[in-house]
């Protein structure tokens, strides 16, 4: 008599064991993203019937462009074994310098709008390039901690941005700049979305199909072994920080076109959000691990959560608490994932 329930329960036990093994394999491969995404969809779809509508999801995709771009750069630095707290400062100084250059050149070349916009954008890229170069040289050639180096450079760049503007937005940009890069459409799609799609494709090619990408993974995985393998570790590290700054600069230009002014307070929280997007997307804080497509989904998830909290009428201050909690949880799960991969989970 007692053997009957034991036999009946065996399939259920087998199913639970299979489900646990599948969840474990999914967690090791992709991190917390699938589980966080399922939880967010369930919670916010119950809180608002507008959450899963097509219009809202398209709006989330459009809003996630800026975080996706910055997260791509942050991913490169994280895979190399560091992180960049100066991405927000790169966004801000790009916005300020490009806006000042455009407004200044508009008086010199009043009839050459395209030249004015092009030179202004180059000035913005140049400012961000200098920030990336500072970070790269400090970390790669002088051995400064990425935390200290990027935090210090962030403070310097933010101070320069405020000094140049006096805390006042720089207005008077050529309207063609905003019409094209802020609100323009090409092939029926918003220009920022197309720019992000091109950037994602190029970043995937760099990280998955080029020697530079392989070097970045190798340096992040084991820098000593990479050095013994004749990989130029210092140059690779410097390249990672420069690339991160340039991608953040592209974000700064798109945001400047969107708000139609150069502002020193752009990108204030984007450093934390980009790190959270990367970690949720499966990028290891220890370096050497991360995929472009997962980071894109991680950035989309962050914006999706922000959108869901807005629809649920959660206040902005509480949103900061919840996003910070998400980052902490993501880091904790990253530790658990690392232990499981090492066979200690």
Look at the pTM and tell me if it is higher than 0.75. yes
Full residue range of the structural domain in which residue 167 is found: 33-337
Per-residue pLDDT, averaged over 45-69, amounts to 89
Residue 280 lies in a domain: yes
pLDDT tier at 268, thresholds 50, 70, 90: confident
Instruction: Evaluate whether residue 8 is within a structural domain.
Output: no
- At 97 the pLDDT is 96
φ/ψ of 180, rounded to 5, equals -85, -55
Q: Which residues contact 330 (CB under 8 A, 6 or more apart)?
A: 31, 32, 36, 276, 279, 280
- pLDDT-derived band at 326 (thresholds 50, 70, 90) equals confident
What CATH number did the domain enclosing 157 receive?
A: 1.10.3470
SS3 (DSSP) at 263: coil
Residue 222 lies in a domain: yes
322 pLDDT more than 90: no
Per-residue pLDDT at 6 exceeds 60: no
For the stretch 17-40, pLDDT in tens is 777 777 777 777 767 888 888 888
Q: Which ranges in the chain belong to alpha helices (H)?
A: 3-30, 33-47, 54-63, 65-79, 87-108, 113-140, 146-165, 175-181, 191-209, 211-221, 223-228, 233-259, 270-280, 292-311, 316-341
Number of domains in the chain: 1
């Amino acid at each position: 008599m007692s053997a009957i329930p034991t036999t009946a329960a065996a399939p259920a036990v087998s199913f639970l064991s299979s489900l646990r093994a599948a969840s474990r394999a999914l967690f090791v491969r992709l991190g917390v993203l699938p589980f966080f995404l399922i939880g967010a969809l369930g919670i916010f779809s119950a809180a608002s019937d507008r959450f899963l509508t097509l219009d809202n999801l398209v709006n989330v995709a459009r809003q996630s462009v800026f975080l996706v771009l910055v997260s791509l750069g942050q991913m490169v630095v994280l895979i190399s074994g560091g992180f960049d707290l100066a991405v927000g400062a790169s966004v801000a100084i790009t916005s300020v310098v490009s806006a000042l250059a455009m407004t200044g050149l508009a008086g010199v070349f009043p009839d050459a709008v395209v030249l004015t916009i092009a030179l202004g954008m180059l000035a913005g890229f140049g400012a961000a390039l200098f920030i990336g170069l500072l970070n790269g040289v400090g970390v790669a050639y002088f051995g400064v901690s990425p935390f200290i180096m990027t935090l210090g450079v962030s403070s310097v760049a933010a101070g320069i941005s405020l000094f140049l503007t006096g805390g006042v937005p720089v207005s008077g940009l050529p309207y063609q700049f905003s019409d094209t890069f802020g609100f323009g459409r090409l092939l029926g799609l918003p220009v920022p979305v197309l720019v992000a799609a091109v950037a994602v494709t190029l970043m995937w090619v760099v990280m998955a199909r080029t020697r530079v990408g392989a070097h970045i993974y190798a340096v992040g995985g084991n820098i000593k072994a990479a050095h013994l393998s004749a990989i130029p570790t210092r140059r690779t590290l410097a390249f990672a920080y420069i690339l991160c700054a340039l991608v953040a600069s592209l974000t700064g230009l798109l945001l400047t076109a969107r708000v139609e002014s150069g502002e020193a307070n752009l990108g204030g929280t984007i450093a934390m959000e980009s790190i959270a997007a990367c970690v949720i997307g499966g990028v290891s804080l220890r370096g050497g691990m991360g995929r472009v497509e997962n980071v894109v989904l991680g950035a989309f998830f962050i914006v999706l959560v922000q959108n869901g909290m807005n629809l649920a009428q959660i206040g902005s201050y509480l949103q900061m608490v919840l996003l910070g909690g998400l980052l902490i949880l993501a880091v904790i799960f990253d530790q658990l994932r690392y232990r499981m991969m090492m066979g200690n989970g």
